[in-house]
Structure 1
Amino acid sequence: MTVRKTALCLVALALLGMGTASAAGPAKQPRSELDRVLARGEVKVCSTGDYRPFTYRDPATGQWSGIDIDMAGDLAQRLGVRLKLVPTTWKTLVDDLGRTCDLSMGGISITLDRAKRAFYTEPYVRDGKTPITRCENAERFQTLEQIDQPGVRAIVNPGGTNEQFADANLKQATIVRHPDNNTIFTEIIEGRADLMITDAVETRWQAKEHPELCSVHPDQPFTFAEKAYLLPRGDVVFQEWVDQWLNLARHDGTYDRFAAAWIG
């Protein structure tokens, strides 16, 4: 076969391939979680249920409450679907996305580690780590240097950013790991721990609920952090819709109304 004939054959094959592709039509885009939620008529939201004022699940009744529980209800209403709340833990939060739930809500801090495995919405709260302790000890625990001393007992809930912060910054103090975030502040009140370093918004809520406890400089926390909702990695369509909903809720008074009921 001559060079000219070979070239003509190659052109013909290319044209044939183009025609076949055209006849088959454009490749179908994978369905978004948004499409599946709408088809199902139900949105499944994972939450830990142990982080007031954002999320709380009463262990006796199973009843849910909190700012982000109210927000989840608003999200479902604006989607026009039912809301199903699914219990999760801080350790399994990312793994449960797309497996048992469509998104996760409940005071979730933005971290680079989580961002490797999932998408975040735009942030809706700016926060940071600060101490909470019995009020008579508030002056003792103003700085990390004061806290990181032999004999000081800093309590943490395993699996989240509080534990990560304590492990990274406390080398001499004793870190007490308490598995139940719903009862962890009772440990401080009853003297079995000296303090906890957690998100400033949580310290404000707990100090409001327990007059024995004082939030230490919540307006000047040790760290900078933001909170957002967690979505399956790669699903830009679903992320875009949730971002637009959140933007509207933050500017039409919806979020402020829910938050005011908890933190004023």
Structure 2
Amino acid sequence: MKRILAPIAGLALGAVLATATLAQSALNEILDSGVLKFGTTGDWNPMSVRDPATNSYKGFDIDVANELAKDLGVKLELVPTDWKTLVNGVVAGKYHITGSASISPGRMKVAGYSDSYLSVEIYPFTTIDKADRFDGWDSVNQPDVIVATTLGTTFHDHVKKWFPNAQIKVVEAPARGYQEVLSGRADVFITSNIEGATLTAKFPVVRIRNTEPRAPAAIAMLMPQADQVWINYVNNWIKIKKLAGFFDDLKAKWGL
């Protein structure tokens, strides 16, 4: 009799644990509340761009968020955040998921990720009037060069590692490294090929010549690390949308 009851008890315990996991999932909370909370920085063009005049957002990430909310059958709430607190926000439950962020070992220690749907590479940029001053990555790593970067970004980590001889100027969001370069307070900033293409089309900045891409990185959305139910939902949603051509259409729309 005991041999029969033991497996039954095990199955019952498993069912209870599975139910508890579902109840604790962000997916359950989203469906119950009717709201998807999406953390976004609003300062990574063309992924997420905030218009200060209207406090409205547009970009690749915003289109993804709207589509995800639509398929969930809920309303979308965009939650402002910045790169310094992006991970802390998802860990603390301020939002259920974030916009695009590079997958890094540091972030993976405390937060989960969706499957990747995009990749980026990093290049150095300067203003057109200073372009002749630089040639290759080594030309940036000099004592008389000021490199600007934003605190809390992966670019900040790379700048410290790649340019130990240069002067590093760190700004906090919403300020950005490229703004320091445009204002003349710094000489160089690094960014992804994605943002770089947008900035060179809009401002008098150019990619430093003879620089090969560095630190290729997969891009994904940050999620609560232990919430496998929610992670599974989003990952399967990404697969469906990839097959339907949704992400390809978005890449074409935003020039990615």
Corresponding letter in the other structure for 1:214:
V
| 1:135 maps to 2:128 | yes
Post-superposition offset of 1:39: 1.6
Partner SS state of residue 193, structure 1: coil
1:157 aligns with 150
1:102 aligns with 96
Partner SS state of residue 154, structure 1: strand
**Stretches of structure 2 lacking an aligned partner (at least 5 in a row):** none
| CA distance 1:155–1:28, shift in 2 (3 Å) | same
| 1:167 maps to 2:160 | yes
| CA distance 1:234–1:22, shift in 2 (3 Å) | closer
- Which of 219, 223, 240 is equivalent to 1:227? 219
- Measure the CA separation in 2 of the matches of 1:177 and 1:117: 24
Matches within 5 A, 1:2-21: 14=2, 18=6, 21=9
| CA distance 1:180–1:113, shift in 2 (3 Å) | closer
Partner SS state of residue 123, structure 1: coil
Partner SS state of residue 94, structure 1: helix
2:75 aligns with 82
| 1:66 maps to 2:55 | no
- Measure the CA separation in 1 of the matches of 2:135 and 2:159: 15
The alignment covers a number of residue pairs equal to 250
Post-superposition offset of 1:160: 1.2
1:39 aligns with 32
- Measure the CA separation in 2 of the matches of 1:63 and 1:218: 38
- Measure the CA separation in 2 of the matches of 1:49 and 1:183: 12
1:119-140 deviation digits (Å, cap 9, x = unpaired) = 1111112112211111243354
Post-superposition offset of 1:261: 3.2
- Measure the CA separation in 2 of the matches of 1:150 and 1:23: 66
| CA distance 1:137–1:250, shift in 2 (3 Å) | farther
TM-score, normalisation: structure 1: 0.84
| CA distance 1:182–1:202, shift in 2 (3 Å) | farther
**Stretches of structure 1 lacking an aligned partner (at least 5 in a row):** 1-11
Q: Is the 8 A contact 1:205 1:262 kept in 2?
A: no
1:57 aligns with 50
Matches within 5 A, 1:192-231: 192-210=185-203, 212-216=204-208, 220-231=212-223
Q: Is the 8 A contact 1:200 1:218 kept in 2?
A: no
Partner SS state of residue 249, structure 1: helix
- Measure the CA separation in 2 of the matches of 1:168 and 1:83: 38
Partner SS state of residue 96, structure 1: helix
- Measure the CA separation in 2 of the matches of 1:175 and 1:112: 23
1:5 aligns with none
- Which of 233, 244, 252 is equivalent to 1:241? 233
TM-score, normalisation: structure 2: 0.87
- Measure the CA separation in 1 of the matches of 2:171 and 2:188: 12
Identity %: 30
| 1:27 maps to 2:25 | no
- Measure the CA separation in 2 of the matches of 1:218 and 1:129: 13
Please tell me whether Structure 1 or Structure 2 has the larger radius of gyration of its CA atoms: 1
